[in-house]
Amino acid sequence: MNLPNKLTVFRIILIPIFLIILAVPFHWGSVIWLGTTIPLVNVIATVIFIVASLTDLLDGKIARGQHLVTNFGKFADPLADKMLVMTAFVVLIEMGKAPAWVIAIIVCRELAITGLRLLIVENNGTVMAAAYPGKIKTTTQMLAIILLLLNNVFFNNIHLPMAGILLYTCLFFTIYSGIDYFVQNRSVFGDGFK
């Protein structure tokens, strides 16, 4: 197994660890950081989430840069990304930090785009690359999750609800990029509208 695939598998292994840390009622106390009280389990879970997210950046760059792209990587990398983000968002709903309706839209879009990617591969034999709005969606997703887990720590002193702003920015780009992907690839569905 090459290094990018090992990083992807490592990310998948981190997902249940992230989930267990947040789901099991550990009481390790809290830390005060920049005047914000944060449960220690949230800090640990955030570190795990950040490490997992960084492996996502690394595995793709290494695979493309060193010509190590494999079918396993094409399958597992996007799956690991979706599993990580969806797990984090579902936990944030349980924690009362994210509205269920926002997360439902994000999850539905992710599933729809995954299906679209499969159709494109089946019809054209090509992998649909991430477009710029999709990259903005991913970036705002990751940052929103981090700030929601850390109780908006970097912005509380200036009374800026950045975690919420990022979450709703993510929602906007989730919808926009989802529509954009389907419009750009509408030819895949040409046989259904004859």
Average pLDDT value for the chain? 90
pLDDT at 126: 67
pLDDT at 120: 82
pLDDT tens-digit series, residues 4-20 = 899 999 999 999 999 99
Name which of 40-49, 53-62, 70-79, 104-113 the model is least confident about: 70-79
pTM above 0.85, yes or no: yes
What's 151's DSSP letter?
Answer: T
pLDDT tens-digit series, residues 147-187 = 999 999 999 989 999 999 999 999 999 999 999 999 988 88
Q: Is residue 127 part of a domain?
A: yes
Burial class (CB in 10 A: 0-12, 13-18, 19+), 85: buried
**Binning pLDDT at 50, 70 and 90, where does residue 192 land?**
low
Residue 38 pairs in a beta bridge with 31
Give me the number of domains the chain comprises: 1
What's the rounded Cα separation, in Å, for the pair 136 and 129?
14
Q: Is residue 194 part of a domain?
A: no
Q: Is residue 60 part of a domain?
A: yes
Q: Is residue 193 part of a domain?
A: no
Domain that holds residue 132: 3-188
> Which CATH number characterizes residue 95's domain?
1.20.120.1760
